[in-house]
Chains A and B, each alone.
Chain A
Amino acid sequence: MFAEVLFIAFAALSILGAIGLILFRHPMKGAMSLIVTMISLAGLYALLSAELIFVLQLIVYAGAIMSLIIFIIMFLNIQDNDLPIEEGRYLYLAGGIAVIIPIACFMIKVVKSIPAHQATIVGNGFGGVKEVGLVLFQDWLLPFEIVSLLLLVALIGAVVLAGKRRLLK
Chain B
Amino acid sequence: MIQDYLILSVILFCLGILGVISRRNVFTVFMSIELMLNAANLAFITFSRVHESMDGHVMAMMIMAVAAAEAALALAVVILLHKHKGKLDTNVFSLLKG
A97 touching B68 in the complex, CB below 8 Å, given contacts A18-B35, A41-B38, A104-B10: no
What is the size category of the interface that chain B forms with chain A? Answer: 35 or more
Q: Mark B53-69, 1 if CB is under 8 A from A, else 0.
A: 01101101110111111
**In the complex, A95→B17 CA distance in Å?**
12
Q: Chain A: interface secondary structure?
A: helix
Q: Mark A84-116, 1 if CB is under 8 A from B, else 0.
A: 101001001101110110011001100110101
Q: How many residues of A contact B (CB 8 A)?
A: 88
**In the complex, A48→B5 CA distance in Å?**
9
Interface residues of B (CB under 8 A from A): 1-8, 10-19, 21-25, 27-28, 30-32, 34-35, 38, 41-42, 45-46, 48-50, 52, 54-55, 57-58, 60-62, 64-73, 75-80, 82-84, 86-91
Query: Can you give 8 A-B contacts (C-beta < 8 A)?
Result: A53-B57, A56-B64, A69-B30, A100-B18, A114-B2, A114-B6, A144-B58, A154-B68
